[in-house]
């Protein structure tokens, strides 16, 4: 039986498995620059009779769809697709999240037809306010479709003919910036080793946005990032701290729950005591605050209300009167919120702005009852909500880079626009 739910559910054919075994011990360059990718490019050019084509390999279909649509369309333009299309139904809003609307057309078999495309475009152009409505400028199809149906050659020719008739041709995209970025990706002259300490590291995709943001920042600085995926629970073992030696930087991303948090405390303490650049995101910020409260401020039982509701020193807590007026999406503080940056801090040097907006996803907050004590011991509150009630960022300003943020900056990083915090973290890890 052929199934179309997900290609990840299917195994590899014997020929592929055999070839993987044969080449298992080969040492090759990174994906896209290895001899197998070079050979694949030539085969594709030959099969397509397009020897002047410029071929790039991406890590997945979502990235490929996003890259093509973002490169071809202007900000006010959208892409037409079947209501069951992959970009609409299976990519968690990736296309629209990056600025291009998916215009869906009804379908009974997973395919769109030329007549429906033409009718939609003509209705759009007949609208008196068409200039103020997202303009259809591209047609997206997948072959086979999400339901397993296949476009015939006449159907494809009809779609192509209608697109030409309607002038659905976008201006030639300016790919100068992207080509320069791709060149940087393939020609790094140095490398940096970053330890990513988390509780879900066996599934790398759990931290995909963080990993990609690290790569974005490294590429921009002529570097390749080597991520050492460290299970936080392994750090809790008697000899666990050895896993942190030899790292250029340590990052602790977000998460929920008690498991692995003691290992995260160890990571934060190691970075602080050994002056290793540290970047804590959401849970990574909270665990850094707890560790600082324990070891630098003398609060041996410091903890989070999430991890130990009975702790007498909950430096992180869900605070009555502190955040109850903030829309938390049920129990989460969710979405974009402004942050005012403290002048003269690492945060200020990174952003170069007084007020920023970042995306949040968390329940617990820095407990304001401990502001004065922790600041006296050397912790800098480098980002606050505009009304001053919520601590959004902390740092050790005397370190090369030791920053914890309550929000998720990885969500705003782009390959050609690395996030400033990731840029500064990688720069510090490189020794720049």
Known catalytic residue at 410: yes
Cα–Cα distance, 184 to 309 (Å, whole number): 49
CB within 8 Å of 326: residues ≥ 6 apart: 333, 337, 390
Quote the Cα angle for 19-22-25, to 5°: 125
- Give the pLDDT confidence of 381-411 residue by residue, as tens digits: 999 999 999 999 999 999 999 999 999 999 9
Alpha helices for 76-151 (secondary structure H): 86-89, 94-97, 114-126
Q: How far is CA 325 from CA 45, 322, 336, 337, 383, in A?
A: 59, 8, 15, 13, 19
Known catalytic residue at 15: no
Residue 81 has pLDDT above 90, yes or no: no
Confidence category of residue 326, pLDDT binned at 50, 70, 90? very low
DSSP string, 307-330: T-TT-S-EEEE--TTTSTTS--TT
The per-residue pLDDT of the chain, averaged, comes to 86
Token representation of residue 97? 């999240």
Confidence category of residue 113, pLDDT binned at 50, 70, 90? confident
Which position among 86, 100, 360, 408 bears the catalytic label?
408
Cα–Cα distance, 265 to 273 (Å, whole number): 12
- Give the pLDDT confidence of 146-196 residue by residue, as tens digits: 777 888 777 888 888 888 877 776 556 667 777 788 788 878 889 999 999
Residue 135 has pLDDT above 90, yes or no: no
| Cis peptide preceding 31, ω within 30 of 0 | no
Q: According to the model, what pLDDT value does residue 323 have?
A: 45
Q: According to the model, what pLDDT value does residue 171 have?
A: 58
CB within 8 Å of 201: residues ≥ 6 apart: 207, 229, 230, 231, 232
- Give the pLDDT confidence of 26-47 residue by residue, as tens digits: 777 767 777 888 888 888 887 7
CB-count exposure of residue 120 (10 Å: 0-12, 13-18, 19+): middle
Q: According to the model, what pLDDT value does residue 169 have?
A: 60
Known catalytic residue at 282: yes
Token representation of residue 4? 């179309």
Quote the Cα angle for 237-238-243, to 5°: 70
Cα–Cα distance, 43 to 211 (Å, whole number): 31
> How do 249-252 and 278-281 pair as beta strands?
parallel
Q: How far is CA 406 from CA 254, 355, 384, in A?
A: 9, 15, 10
Which position among 163, 282, 339, 350 bears the catalytic label?
282
- Give the pLDDT confidence of 265-304 residue by residue, as tens digits: 999 999 999 999 999 999 999 999 999 999 999 999 999 9
Place of tokens 């009809």: 158
Cα–Cα distance, 395 to 285 (Å, whole number): 9
Domains of the chain: 7-166 (3.40.640.10), 190-430 (3.40.50.880)
Q: Are 394 and 380 in contact (CB under 8 A)?
A: yes
């Amino acid at each position: 039986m052929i199934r179309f739910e997900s290609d990840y559910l299917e195994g590899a054919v014997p020929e592929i498995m055999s070839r993987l075994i044969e080449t298992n011990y080969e040492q090759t360059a990174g994906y896209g620059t290895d001899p197998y990718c070079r050979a694949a490019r030539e085969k594709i050019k030959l099969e397509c009779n397009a020897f002047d084509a410029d071929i790039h390999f991406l890590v997945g279909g979502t990235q490929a769809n996003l890259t093509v649509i973002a490169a071809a369309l202007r900000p006010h333009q959208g892409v037409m697709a079947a209501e069951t299309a992959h970009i609409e139904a299976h990519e968690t809003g990736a296309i629209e999240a990056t600025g291009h609307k998916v215009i869906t057309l009804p379908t009974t078999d997973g395919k769109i037809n030329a007549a429906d495309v033409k009718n939609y475009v003509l209705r759009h152009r007949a609208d008196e306010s068409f200039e103020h409505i997202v303009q259809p400028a591209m047609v997206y199809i997948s072959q086979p479709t999400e339901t397993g149906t296949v476009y015939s050659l006449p159907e494809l020719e009809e779609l192509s003919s209608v697109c030409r008739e309607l002038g659905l041709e976008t201006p030639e995209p300016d790919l100068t910036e992207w080509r320069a970025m791709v060149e940087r990706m393939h020609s790094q002259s140095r490398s940096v080793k970053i330890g990513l300490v988390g509780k879900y590291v066996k599934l790398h995709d759990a931290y995909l946005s963080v990993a990609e943001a690290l790569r974005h920042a490294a590429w921009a600085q002529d570097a390749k990032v080597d991520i050492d995926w460290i299970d936080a629970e392994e750090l809790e073992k008697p000899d666990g701290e050895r896993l942190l030696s030899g790292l250029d930087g340590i990052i602790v991303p977000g998460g929920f729950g008690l498991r692995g948090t003691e290992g995260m405390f160890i990571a934060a303490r190691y970075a602080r005591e050994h002056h290793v650049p540290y970047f804590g995101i959401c849970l990574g910020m909270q665990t850094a605050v707890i560790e600082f409260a324990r070891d630098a401020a003398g609060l041996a039982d410091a903890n989070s209300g999430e991890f130990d509701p009975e702790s007498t020193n909950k430096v992180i807590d869900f605070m009555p009167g502190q955040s109850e007026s903030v829309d938390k999406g049920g129990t989460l503080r969710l979405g974009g919120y402004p942050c005012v940056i403290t002048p003269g801090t690492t945060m200020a040097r990174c952003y170069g702005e007084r007020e920023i907006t970042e995306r949040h996803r968390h329940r617990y907050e820095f407990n304001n009852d401990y502001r004065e004590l922790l600041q006296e011991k050397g912790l800098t509150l480098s980002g606050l909500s505009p009304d001053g009630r919520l601590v959004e960022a902390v740092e050790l300003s005397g370190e090369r880079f030791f920053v914890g943020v309550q929000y998720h900056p990885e969500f705003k990083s782009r390959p050609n626009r690395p996030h400033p915090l990731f840029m500064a973290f990688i720069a510090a890890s490189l020794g720049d």
